[in-house]
Amino acid sequence: MKKGLGKGLDALFSIYEDDDIEVKDSKTETKNENENRVVINGVEELDIRKIDPNKNQPRKKFDANSLKELSESIKQHGIIQPIIVNQEPNGRFTIIAGERRFRASIIAGKSTIPAIIRKYSERQIKEVSLIENLQREDLNPIEAAKAIKELMNEYNFTQEAVADRIGKSRPLVANTLRLLTLSPEVISLIELNKISAGHGKCLVAVEDKKKQLELANFVIENKLTVRDLENLIRNDKASDKVRIPKDKIIQSIELKELGHRMQRLFRTKVKIVGDDQKGKISIAYFNQDDLDRICTFIDKLENH
């Protein structure tokens, strides 16, 4: 049966449960390296010093403020959901799922952490780590794309095969992977949440890498929606000839501030079209009073 997302971690981890995986269902005591370890319903408290992060963890960025908030919660309420670890031959444990909780527990000064122990192969660890992060929506789009690509490259998965294993549609997997064809600068903007994955998927259609970055910066500067960007690109069917409208040229902070100052002085709408090198300034008036006020201000400037 196909294991999709949204079915809970029990369904997620049952993908790999077989005879060589030890699952403890009742309260038992076992000795390990002269320590008594109490296991309750498959969960036991592990020495946090014996746990190592997963070097192949798909998630690379952990927000410092978010970790701090979680650590404060852990101090007050403890760990609500145990982490999942893999038991290594050397007696140590590698995190499969729950690295954020692990990091926050260290910040909170905890010496132990509740964990469920599994025994997986390296491939199983990578797959489960990816699925768990996708299920929780913890990965940014680029992290997800890189993790999917790594699975495909290392284990010769097709897009259809990897889509089946992570519970996503093949078109979604294909569109996610396409983000990796963007210029490095645009990829970085997506990672920093400056533009969305939706913007990135639009920019994939623009073959010119330099133009991709120009459009990405234009999106940021003008707060364009994905639909706005789609329309901008669609207006010129030859995507490598996309032109940013001249009245939408990205302006410097100083030029924008000049426009604001003029609006305050003239107390009417002022529009600046162009950049620091070339352009035009339009001063609007909507009645005789506006025009008189502008004329009076100019008179004062001339007589200054």
- Whether 254 is catalytic is no
The pLDDT tens digits of the residues spanning 79-134 come to: 888 988 988 888 899 888 888 889 899 999 999 999 989 888 777 777 777 776 66
Q: Is 246 helix (H, G, I), strand (E, B) or coil?
A: helix
Q: Is 262 exposed, middle or buried (0-12, 13-18, 19+ CB in 10 A)?
A: middle
Q: In the chain, pLDDT over 90 holds for what percent of residues? A: 20
Token reading at 44:
């036991």
- Catalytic residue from among 44, 99, 127, 143: 99
Q: Sort strands 51-52 and 43-47 into parallel, antiparallel or unpaired.
A: unpaired
Q: How does the average pLDDT of the chain come out, rounded?
A: 77
Of 90-99, 120-129, 138-147, 197-206, the poorest mean pLDDT is in: 120-129
Of 191-200, 237-246, 291-300, the poorest mean pLDDT is in: 237-246
The pLDDT tens digits of the residues spanning 214-232 come to: 999 999 988 899 988 988 8
Q: What's residue 110's pLDDT?
A: 92
The pLDDT tens digits of the residues spanning 4-18 come to: 333 334 443 444 443
Phi, psi of 121 (to 5 degrees): -80, 170
Q: Is the pLDDT of residue 237 over 70?
A: no
Q: What's residue 113's pLDDT?
A: 92
The amino acid occupying position 241 is K
Q: Is the pLDDT of residue 143 over 70?
A: yes
Which residues, 6+ apart, have CB-to-CB distance to 16 below 8 Å?
Answer: 118, 120, 124, 128
Please tell me the distance from the alpha carbon of residue 285 to that of residue 290, in angstroms, as a whole number: 5
Q: What's residue 245's pLDDT?
A: 62
Q: Is 19 helix (H, G, I), strand (E, B) or coil?
A: coil
Q: Residue 1: pLDDT band by 50, 70, 90 thresholds?
A: very low
The amino acid occupying position 212 is Q
Q: In the chain, pLDDT over 70 holds for what percent of residues? A: 77
Q: Is the pLDDT of residue 66 over 60?
A: yes
Domains of the chain: residue spans and CATH: 22-119 (3.90.1530.30), 182-250 (no CATH), 253-302 (no CATH)
Phi, psi of 16 (to 5 degrees): -110, 0
Q: Is the pLDDT of residue 140 over 70?
A: yes
Reported pTM: 0.51
Helix H or strand E segment including 249: none
Please tell me the distance from the alpha carbon of residue 53 to that of residue 118, in angstroms, as a whole number: 15
The pLDDT tens digits of the residues spanning 27-45 come to: 444 444 435 556 666 788 9
